[in-house]
Amino acid sequence: MNRASLINSNRKYWLIAGLVLLVAVGLLIWINQSRAAGSTTYQTSVAALGTLTADVGATGTIRAAHSAVLVWNTTGRVGTVNANIGTKVRTDQVMAALATDSVPNGILLAKANLISARLDLDNLLNSNNTIAVAMQNLGNAKQAVKDAQDAYDYLTTLRYSVELAKDLADQADVAINQVNRLEFFYKYFKYFHRPDGSNDKDRMIIQLTTARQNVTDLAIRYNWFTSKPSPIEVEKYLAALNLAKAKQADAQRELDRVKKGNNADDITAAKAKVAAAQATFNQSLVIAPFNGTVTQALPQVGDRVSSGQTAFRVDDLSQLMVDLEISEVDINTVALGQPVTISLDAIPNKIYKGVVSKVNQSALAGQSGVNFTVSVTLTDPDKLVKPGMTAAVTITTKQVANALLVPNRAVRTLGDQHVVYVLKDKQPVPVNIRLGAAANANSQVVGGDLKVGDLIILNPPNAAGTQSLSPTLTPTK
């Protein structure tokens, strides 16, 4: 064999050997892949009916539905304290009061005005008493007119007669003689030398003083009877008479008015006076604004306080709430009346229930994004729950009972169709589904070929063209 033939023979040998080796390697790879495929372990879940529950979680702080910090509205000294921490108070209950002798004069005056205003209002509301008072006022006014008329007539009529003047003159002469006689006895018997306090001297001084006063009175009477009134004096008495007549007319009109019934405007005005006086007087008091429990109490009897100083804090512990900040992504799933569960760091191993009671419609923009405030009311609080405790709240936004459920992790998209892979004869088979409501872990199947009892593959193969879904599916509207 020549050299060229030998070379050609070697080339054919190596070519055949290469082809055999390539076939062997391919066969080995195919066998290994077949074994690997046959040994794949799938995680499965049985398709079953259940309740789909969607929820939203947030944290907040327990607070009372009604809470108020009460302060003093004026200065003074604390006189009485009627409430302490833990005391249950009622609306309008006086919790503390300043001593009357320590409050400003305006408040003391308001107390007097309050008593008067209440009496006036009571008189208005009590029609029989009002009429009786009006009749009495009219009678007094008529008597005042009569008295003023008599005084005016007495002033303007002739004051004396000749006989009266002579009689007064005679009485004056007798009185003067009596004074002279007593003065003579006082000097002659030297009463002025007798010690002060002796009975004789005191009697003589009394007689002399009485006699002198009698002379003075008779002189005044004589001068009045014999003189004429001045024009100013006449005008004064006439003005008094006219004023008395005007008051009588007012009293008559008032009687006529009350006989027709109470005027609504008068009653409104009387009530306003009572309210104004009460409001001023209440500045010396601390009054409960609603039914609640005292959670802070500072005043002690004898303390000096000033306006604006804190006195008490009152909380309505019968209704406790939690305020939450819910993201704009979840707010449209939250609605009034939705049930909630509440856990507290301070009370482990116990779950409380509640309900959504308020959903704000305006957002709060902050560093953590756009949030909406949602208020939750506890429906089963106990004495362990206190304002200020941290609460973790879960709001159940949707519940669908008797729904065919699939885990979200098992759902894939194939083109524009949702599918899940079902294990049949140990092989994954895609099944078309139509989704309804979705929650964090599961979604509702409302159509398609999936049946109760099918084994849903949770880790399906990544076939060409399939895509996995987000862990949370958007609910179908």
One domain, residues 119 and 264: yes
Does any domain span residue 456?
yes
| CATH for 421 | 2.40.420.20
What is the pLDDT, as a whole number, of residue 463?
A: 58
CB 216 within 8 A of CB 210: no
Contacts of 297 by beta carbon, 8 Å cutoff, 6+ apart: 81, 83, 84, 85, 87, 311, 312
Structural domain includes residue 34: no
Annotate 435-452 with DSSP letters as a single string: EEEE-SSEEEEEEES--T
Domain count, the chain: 3
Q: For the residues 289-304, what does the mean pLDDT come to? A: 94
Coil, strand or helix at 87: coil
Q: Which two tokens stand for residue 286?
A: 């601390």
Distances (CA, A) of 456 to 1, 106, 412, 453: 71, 84, 12, 9
**Rounded CA gap, 348 and 240, in Å?**
88
455 and 322 belong to one structural domain: no
Are 79 and 93 part of one and the same domain?
A: yes
Domain span at 367 = 56-65+315-399
Residues 338 and 56: their CA atoms lie apart, in Å, by 11
Task: Kindly report which listed range (6-20, 343-357, 403-417, 437-451) carries the lowest average pLDDT score.
Answer: 6-20
Is it the case that residue 324 has pLDDT exceeding 90?
yes
Confidence band of 25 (pLDDT split at 50, 70, 90): low
- At residue 471, the pLDDT reads 44
Q: What is the DSSP letter of 102?
A: G
Pick from 365, 399, 433: which residue ends a domain? 399
In the chain, pLDDT over 70 holds for what percent of residues? 85
Shared-domain flag, residues 237 and 124? yes
Over residues 86-98, the pLDDT tens digits come to 999 999 999 999 9
Position 77 pLDDT exceeds 90: yes
Q: For the whole model, what pTM was predicted?
A: 0.51
| pLDDT greater than 90 at residue 287 | yes
Query: For residue range 384-409, what is the model confidence (pLDDT) as tens digits?
Result: 999 999 999 999 988 888 889 999 88
Q: What percent of the chain has pLDDT over 90?
A: 43
More confident residue, 231 or 78: 78
Q: Are residues 455 and 331 in the same domain?
A: no
| pLDDT grade for 129, boundaries at 50, 70 and 90 | low
Whether 223 maps to a domain, the answer reads no
What pLDDT does residue 233 have? Answer: 85
Are residues 56 and 475 in contact, defined by beta-carbon separation less than 8 angstroms?
Answer: no
The reply to whether 299 and 347 lie within a common domain is no
* Domain stops at, among 384, 399, 414: 399
For residue 265, the model assigns a pLDDT of 73
Specify whether 276 is located in the same domain as 250: yes
Q: What is the pLDDT of residue 474?
A: 45
pLDDT at site 351: 95
Give yes or no for residue 127 having a pLDDT over 90.
no
Residue 280 has pLDDT above 50, yes or no: yes
**Mean predicted confidence (pLDDT) in 264-281:** 83
User: d(Cα 196, Cα 194) in Å, to the nearest integer?
Assistant: 7
Q: Which long-range contacts (CB under 8 A, 24 or more apart) does 182-185 make?
A: 182/207, 182/208, 182/211, 183/208
What is the spatial distance between Cα 420 and Cα 407, in angstroms, rounded to a whole number? 9
Contact at 8 Å (CB) between 338 and 356? yes
Of 289, 279, 341, the closest CA to residue 314 belongs to: 289
Among candidate residues 313, 381, 319, 395, the one with its CA nearest the CA of residue 346: 381
Same-domain status, 91 and 141: yes
Mean pLDDT of the chain: 84
Q: What's residue 95's pLDDT? A: 95
The predicted structure's pLDDT at residue 278:
85
Last residue of a domain, one of 399, 424, 448: 399
pLDDT band at 476 (very low <50, low <70, confident <90, very high): very low
Distance CA 222, CA 217 (A): 9
Contact by Cβ (8 Å): 380, 352: yes
pLDDT in tens, 221-270: 877 777 777 788 889 989 999 999 999 999 999 888 777 766 677 778 87
DSSP 133-152: HHHHHHHHHHHHHHHHHHHH
What's the confidence (pLDDT) of residue 353?
A: 96
How many CA atoms lie less than 13 Å away from 172 in the CB half-sphere?
Answer: 14
Poorest-confidence range of 15-19, 113-117, 445-449? 15-19
* Spatial separation of the C-alpha atoms in residues 327 and 395, rounded to whole Å: 13
**Do 247 and 141 share a structural domain?**
yes
Q: Say what the pLDDT of residue 472 is.
A: 45
Residue 48, in any domain of the structure: yes
pLDDT on residue 298? 94
| Residue 308 CA: distances (Å) to CA of 6, 172, 332 | 119, 76, 43
77 and 154 part of one domain: yes
